[in-house]
């Protein structure tokens, strides 16, 4: 057996353990009783250590050295590149730090579920301080290994090849035109009347509607399922994708679009190359590309007039509201393109959403680089909310810096993926429309031409290409923010 084949065999073994970790994590978030958290946390921490030990076995260094001398196909070379990158990311961290961060993160995240509801910043901060400290330690170790800043080192875990400099350029550009565009659209929409659907909307009916929409989006229910959790997410593995959403019986609108968003993540997972299963090269390219798929579904596709017409019909049928003007396609279109300055990122409209991401990016960047303390976050959050959205979160921690799950387990470097994803999604749609009659496909009710383009250009590629090459091959250019700006101006001012 060649050294490359040994690495492939080892990678597939690791994938099996990661499979178990993913399903256990889904179970913890979706269906596990609260009393099981301590035992589950200990078990998952033990599993994370085992995975880390497997990822850093001494013989791997020799196998990589040997494989690099072998004659490999271009696909095998890409596979070797991705495996080596994973190995380097794992070997740089001491086992004790991996275990400590896992335990601290699970403890903080579990307590956060209650502390957020109670607006308990002091209680949250006691747990979060340890998460931040351990994350800063990880960031420093990774930075020394890569020769970068601590934040760039964490960013590379989610957006390989992306740097603070490139993000600053992108986000600083957005900040020059986004605030005025938001104000312009809000002023325009003041003249528009709309009807807010009045609940209650039974959770069972909302779920039934969500399942119908997922079927319309060609989700494979033989390899996935939908459940409920505090924070919506997509987890599991490509052959067993676990989606969760949340329901508010007084608000049909948000939970439905949340389900569409997660279905975008899931379709990407289900569309990854099966012949590369178990290998890093067969996984999603980056979190930005992953978010581009969920936001393509939610924003580019899900909020288009043609799609909303179908959504309106399905909602009318489920809630027996055919004669209710609140459920008309015209009113749904207004609801799903309504722009308002709000506190909550996951409830934000398409136009104000980048402001929420930029705020978080700037805070986590400075936190990981050691320029601010964890205790500075509430005040900085309030300052940036006032600056970007004209809102204050002073004393309102649950709708401010405690609202997201990401920082509870030390997932620093992840937030930029959301707005990068929105930009990629706009660029993919602009390119797709050159060869696909998107509006006609949606009107017909058969979305296959859209999904065929995504499959051919994004899903089936896995991580065989780096992000820039993937985007360039699909669209003819690397990330170009003009497509995002043009999309927003056309939809909201056109």
In this structure, what token pair is assigned to residue 54? 């497997």
User: Which residues are annotated as catalytic?
Assistant: 262
Give the C-alpha separation, 56 to 49, whole Å: 11
Report the alpha-carbon distance of residue 217 to residue 451 in Å, rounded.
9
Give me Rg for the CA atoms of the chain.
Answer: 22
If one counts every other C-beta atom within 10 angstroms of the C-beta of residue 243, the result is 28
Alpha-carbon torsion (375, 376, 382, 384), positive or negative: negative
* Long-range contacts of 309-312, Cβ-Cβ distance < 8 Å, separation of 24 or more: 309/443, 310/216, 310/442, 310/445, 311/213, 311/256
Q: What is the dihedral of CA 246, 249, 250, 256, to 10 degrees?
A: 50
Distance (Å) of CA 225 to CA 275, 300, 378: 23, 24, 37
DSSP-assigned letter for residue 198: P
342 CB contacts (<8 Å, ≥6 apart)? 348, 349, 352, 389, 391
Please provide residue 159's backbone torsions phi and psi, each rounded to the nearest 5 degrees. -130, 75
How far apart, in whole angstroms, are the C-alpha atoms of residue 124 and residue 160? Answer: 31
Q: Terminus-to-terminus CA distance in the chain, angstroms? A: 61
Residue matched to tokens 């390119």: 431
Q: How far apart are CA 192 and CA 203, in angstroms?
A: 30
What b/e readout covers 346-356, taking b as 16+ CB neighbours within 10 angstroms?
Answer: ebbbbbbbbbb
Give the Cβ contact number of residue 95 at 10 Å.
12
CB-count burial class (<10 Å; 0-12, 13-18, 19+) for 493: exposed
Instruction: Please give the Cα distance from 415 to 407 (Å, whole number).
Output: 10
Q: Which residues contact 4 (CB under 8 A, 6 or more apart)?
A: 63, 66, 67, 70, 72, 76, 80
Beta pairing partners, 234: 243
d(CA 367, CA 393): 19
Backbone torsions φ then ψ of 363, nearest 5 degrees: -75, -50
Q: Are 308 and 443 in contact (CB under 8 A)?
A: no
Pairwise CA distance, residues 219 & 423, whole Å: 24
């Amino acid at each position: 057996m060649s050294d490359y084949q040994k690495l492939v065999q080892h990678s597939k073994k690791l994938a099996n353990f990661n499979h178990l970790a993913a399903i256990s994590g889904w179970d913890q978030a979706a269906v596990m009783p609260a009393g099981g958290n301590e035992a589950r946390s200990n078990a998952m921490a033990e599993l994370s250590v085992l995975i880390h030990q497997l990822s850093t076995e001494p013989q791997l260094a020799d196998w990589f050295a040997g494989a690099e001398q072998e004659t490999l196909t271009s696909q095998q070379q890409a596979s070797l590149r991705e495996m080596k990158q994973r190995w380097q990311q794992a070997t740089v961290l001491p086992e004790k730090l991996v275990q400590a961060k896992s335990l601290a993160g699970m403890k903080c995240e579990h307590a956060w579920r209650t502390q957020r509801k109670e607006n308990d910043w002091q209680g949250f901060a006691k747990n979060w301080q340890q998460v931040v400290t351990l994350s800063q330690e990880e960031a420093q170790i990774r930075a020394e290994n890569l020769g970068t800043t601590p934040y760039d080192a964490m960013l590379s875990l989610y957006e390989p090849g992306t740097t603070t400099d490139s993000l600053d350029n992108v986000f600083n550009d957005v900040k020059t035109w986004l605030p005025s565009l938001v104000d312009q659209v809000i002023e325009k929409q003041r003249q528009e009347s709309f009807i807010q659907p009045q609940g209650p909307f039974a959770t069972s009916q909302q779920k039934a509607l969500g399942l119908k929409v997922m079927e319309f989006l060609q989700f494979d229910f033989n390899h996935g399922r939908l459940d409920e959790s505090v924070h919506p997410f997509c987890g599991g593995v490509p052959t067993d994708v676990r989606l969760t959403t949340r329901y508010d019986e007084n608000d049909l609108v948000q939970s439905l679009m949340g389900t569409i968003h997660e279905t975008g993540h899931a379709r990407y997972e289900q569309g990854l190359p099966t012949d590369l299963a178990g290998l890093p090269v067969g996984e999603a390219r980056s979190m930005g590309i992953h978010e581009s798929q969920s936001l393509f579904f939610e924003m580019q596709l899900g909020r288009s007039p043609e799609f909303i017409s179908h959504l309106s019909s399905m909602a009318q049928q489920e809630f027996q509201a055919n004669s209710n003007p609140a459920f008309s396609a015209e009113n749904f279109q207004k609801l799903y393109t309504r722009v308002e300055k709000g506190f909550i990122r996951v409830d934000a409209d398409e136009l104000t959403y980048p402001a929420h991401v930029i705020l978080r990016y700037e805070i986590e960047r400075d936190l990981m680089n050691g320029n601010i303390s964890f205790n500075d976050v509430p005040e900085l959050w309030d300052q940036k909310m006032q600056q970007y959205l004209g809102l204050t979160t002073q004393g309102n921690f649950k709708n401010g810096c405690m609202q997201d799950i990401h920082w509870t387990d030390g997932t620093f470097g992840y937030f930029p993926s959301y707005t990068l994803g929105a930009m990629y999604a706009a660029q993919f749609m602009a390119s797709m429309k050159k060869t696909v009659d998107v509006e006609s496909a949606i009107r017909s009710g058969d979305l296959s031409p859209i999904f065929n383009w995504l499959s051919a250009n994004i899903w089936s590629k896995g991580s065989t290409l780096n992000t820039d090459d993937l985007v360039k091959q699909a669209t003819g250019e690397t990330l170009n923010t003009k497509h995002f700006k043009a999309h927003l101006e056309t939809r909201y001012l056109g």
